[in-house]
Amino acid sequence: MRFPHDYPYGPPTFRFVTKGITHPNVYPDGNLCISILHKPGDDEQSGELANERWNVLHGVESVLRSVLLLMDDPEINSPANVDASVLYRDDRPTYDALAKEVVTRSLKEVPEGVKMPTTAELAPVPQKVVEEDEDFWNPSEDDDDFGGSDSDMGDFEEEEDDEDDDKE
């Protein structure tokens, strides 16, 4: 990944350095074509909406997650590599064999101890649902009123009136 001088307002670029990657969304030079890395705003030519493209809330983690998910599930309708897209669509066994060959070859370049996450490990983790306390929205008369009592407000108003009387 390379980050432009205006990051996070401009998207980083992403390029594979492994030679020979054949993937529908990877150009022959290794550059990646993915919506999240396209400049912000709607693009009438590609049909991408602004919410599919880069915004300042994205970070390295969201980009890497998107890349890994795209590697597992290519977008073949708008390919960067038309030949790979056609091979993926029409001859999946050959595509899979070619992809396996590239992965096997490139694993020799990975430093020892580095572990790549699987798609299953990237799946969103379900969050614990906290049940709302109905009493929060329907307080009883016994509940504390953190704003003070109404009788205190009357004392405040009387003090203001007394100050006005002193000025006259």
pLDDT along the chain (168 residues), means of 10: 87 86 91 79 62 75 86 88 93 93 84 79 72 64 56 53 54
Question: Which pLDDT does position 61 carry in this prediction?
Answer: 84
Token digits of residue 23: 């993937």
Question: Which pLDDT does position 10 carry in this prediction?
Answer: 83
Q: Which of 26, 32, 33, 67 is catalytic?
A: 33
- Cα Rg of the chain, angstroms: 29
Q: Active-site residue 72, yes or no? A: no
Domain boundaries, the chain: 1-116
Contacts of 34 (CB under 8 A, 6+ apart): 14, 25, 66, 67, 70, 75
At residue 13, what is the residue type? T
Residue given tokens 């999946």 in the structure block: 92
Asked if 50 and 58 count as a contact pair (C-beta separation under 8 A), the reply is no
Question: Which pLDDT does position 138 carry in this prediction?
Answer: 67
Question: Which pLDDT does position 137 carry in this prediction?
Answer: 64
CATH architecture of 1-116: Roll (3.10)
